[in-house]
Structure 1
Amino acid sequence: MQAAGLFAHIPGEGLLQLQELGLAFFLSALVGLEREYRQKAAGFRTYTLVGVSAALFMLISKYGFDDVLVPGRVEVDPSRVAAQIVSGLGFIGGGVIFMRRDTVRGLTTAASVWLTAAIGMACGAGMTIVALLTTLGYLVTMFLTPGWLLRMPRAPRHGFKISVRGDPDVDFAETVGTTLTGLGFTLGHVSQERQGETLLLTIHVHGMKKPDEVITPLMRIPGVHAAWSEKPDESLD
């Protein structure tokens, strides 16, 4: 009540707005604690700041322009601020995504940063129930579903390395890549090395087919002298 009396004379700075900011802080902190627990690059402080900042932006868009509004002449569109929050998050999200060899890391972290901002925006907009249920859904997804996913049956995906030796005067590398993708493989790290009178092409691949099913199609490519596969590289999975 004391806080309400202190800010009662200032539009948009009452107890309701303080409660909305506090809720944004609490819910964003919950998401940040989950990320901190998993020792991710973005942790408690990052998520708390993102959520509270998004909520504050929403409050500013709702109440921050009352002193310049003239009925019939100046209008405020809060959705413009919300759109800019979403666009600005691309900077933070892009900073936590990186690629290591043929594996992309940080996608879940980037998505959770995006979600935290949305939770903060919902708090700032006064959508308390939506913010609470969204946070609950996030925690259920992150803590309960990993165990379920590990028990789900999965189709085998073989990760291995394909080596192709061929004529350096023949551009067979692009045809090798096209052949592998046509067989349903995802291409990873690619390297080329000149060895005497031949060119050695090495490609890390992941796919549903076994190594033995790849060699014959590769040997049919013009300019290819030999092709072989190595045992699966567990570090790539």
Structure 2
Amino acid sequence: MSQWEMILRLILSGVLGALIGFERRSHFKEAGLRTHFVVALGSALIMLVSKYGFEDLVGSQSVSLDPSRVAAQVVSGIGFLGAGTIIVEHQSVKGLTTAAGLWATAGIGIAIGAGMYIPGVSATILILIGLEIFNKMEKATLYSTGKISLEIEGINPALDVLKASKVKVSNIQVNRHLKFNASEAKLVFRIYTRNQDEINKIMTSLLKIEYVKTVDIE
């Protein structure tokens, strides 16, 4: 293989990775264009090294080569990078799609580096289409996460406000600050609605409760 074709594979891999990164960045995700670009290009480079970097040793006595061995490490190694995009907060996990996207981007880079142009390009197109379709589906069930800092006496009144609201409220959790102040607690909940006016009404009603200190719904 010529050096120019290797460069072409690197460029194509980087472009395909950047397309997925652009989609992730447009939705304000942790890993964006630059990260996906580097992952795809780096994976393609590793695949090229794995496949063609040891040709001078082919035929040597007592030397056995496995072209898939170096490239296989990309699949497991990218998991560490993907783990950095996953955030766990109050039993809610964020960043899984971005982590999976990085893993798939690495696969695309490996495919292009191996010369599998059609599978690599097809995978990129399918991923972009799938992300857009499922993003629209998720927006139909848009939810907001709310947090209330309050005194213990205000828990029941706050729960009454949430139950009396016209929107769906779920995942209600009460956490007491036993280490700091036994009289204080935090209420975490989830609101399923696209109506900002309803969210504002709930926030206003909660702030009217005497024992509530702060309300944050985002």
Query: What TM-score range do you get, normalising by the shorter chain?
Result: 0.5 to 0.7
**AA partner of residue 93 (structure 1):** G
- TM-score w.r.t. structure 2 length? 0.65
Alignment pair present for 1:80 and 2:69: yes
Q: Letter of the aligned partner of 1:113 in structure 2?
A: L
2:36 corresponds in structure 1 to 47
- 1:72–1:100 CA distance, 2 compared to 1 (3 A): same
Q: 1:188 Cα shift?
A: 6.0
Which stretch shows the higher mean deviation, 104-113 or 138-147? 138-147
Could you tell me how far apart the structure 1 residues matched to 2:115 and 2:68 are?
14
**Which one has the largest radius of gyration?**
1
- Secondary structure (helix, strand or coil) at the match of 1:144 reads helix
Residue number in structure 2 paired with 1:103: 92
CA distance in 2, matches of 1:49, 1:98: 22
Q: In the alignment, which residue of structure 1 is the partner of 2:156?
A: none
| Matching residue of 1:193 | 178
**Is structure 2 residue 48 aligned with structure 1 residue 59?**
yes
Say yes or no: does 1:89 pair with 2:74. Answer: no
Q: 1:110 to 1:81 in 2, by over 3 A?
A: same
Report SS of the residue matched to 1:41. Answer: coil
Q: CA deviation at 1:36?
A: 2.1
Q: Distance in 2 between the 1:49 and 1:68 partners?
A: 29
**Structure 2 residue identity aligned to 1:143:** E
Task: Tell me which amino acid in the other structure corresponds to 2:105.
Answer: T
Identity of aligned residues (%): 37
Return the match for 1:136 from 125, 128, 132: 125
Distance in 2 between the 1:52 and 1:151 partners? 35
Q: How many residues align?
A: 181
Distance 1:17 1:189, change over 3 A: farther
Q: Calculate the aligned-residue CA RMSD, in Å.
A: 3.9
When residues 187 and 151 of structure 1 are mapped into structure 2, their CA distance, relative to the original with a 3 A threshold, is: closer
What does residue 104 of structure 2 align with?
Answer: 115
1:163-182 alignment, distance < 5 Å? none
Distance 1:62 1:81, change over 3 A: same
TM-score, normalising length from structure 1? 0.60
- Compute the displacement of 1:23 (Å): 1.3
Segments of structure 2 that go 5 or more residues without pairing to the other structure are 153-169, 191-214
Partner deviation per Cα, 1:153-186 (whole Å, 9 max, x = no partner): xxxxxx999xxx9xxxxxxxxxxxxxxxxxxx97
* Residue of 32, 37, 41 corresponding to 2:26: 37
* Helix, strand or coil at the partner of 2:178: strand
